[in-house]
Amino acid sequence: MKPTILRDRATTPDGEPLTLHERDGEFTIRVGAVELMSSRQHHSEERLAELACDGLRTRSGATVLIGGLGMGFTLRTALGHVGPEAVVVVVELMPAVIRWNRSPDYGLGADALADPRVELVEGDVGNVLRRSHRRFDAVILDVDNGAGGLCMAANDRLYDATGLAAAKAALKPGGCLAVWSASDDQAFAERLRRAGFGVEVERARVSAGGGGWATLFLGRLASR
């Protein structure tokens, strides 16, 4: 059995270690001892992007916001579901995650980031949402492990009533807010409804070959 190799480390804003590991060509990112993401398990992230971007391929000038670069799987899938004139804005809080994706040594998201439709922002996706008004056709949030903070406690604010109001204001009529969660969260679904979204919930395998489940929350706005 090949050993797990620590490739790089950083520190989250809350002081937790953020580490990149490789084992036999598979990469994982961990916060402390908790595995945050893996290059082997990304089916649910891809499914989230598919659902959020449904119908955008033929929409002229579609604009999508992705909170959380991860390993580039959500971004790559979103790019495959929008047209050539679309804009996909990716916001990533951790500079190390951007560096790891850009590195040719790891084969993660460098190809997706090089797409001319991509705008990469290093910072807090909550700030981007608060500065935007009816800008996005879809907002995809894959930040931490769902409707709560792991890398940064302040990420909780994305998922409370104020954060959902900001996301709603940033969406165009008919827009979609898509949220990845490691577990079911009925309280969050109810907050979505109270914020004025039509709510759909789908369970998705984290890996196409099986494994555990993630919960995908879709909040859709009326067209008018």
pTM for the model stands at 0.94
**Do 221 and 173 meet the contact criterion of CB atoms below 8 Å apart?**
yes
**Surface-to-core class of residue 143, CB atoms within 10 Å of its CB (0-12 exposed, 13-18 middle, 19+ buried):** buried
Q: What b/e sequence results for 28-56 when a residue is b if at least 16 CB atoms lie within 10 Å of its CB, and e otherwise? A: bbbbeeeebbbbebbbbbbbbbbbbbeeb
The 3-state DSSP class for residue 170 equals: helix
Question: Six-digit token pair at 13?
Answer: 């804003």
pLDDT band for 211, please (50, 70, 90 cuts). confident
Quickly tell me which residue has 């979204």 as its tokens.
197
**Do 46 and 81 meet the contact criterion of CB atoms below 8 Å apart?**
no
- CA-nearest of 11, 71, 2 to 38 is 71
Domains parsed from the chain with CATH numbers:
41-220 (3.40.50.150)
* pLDDT, tens only, 99-152: 999 999 999 999 999 999 999 999 999 999 999 999 999 999 998 666 654 445
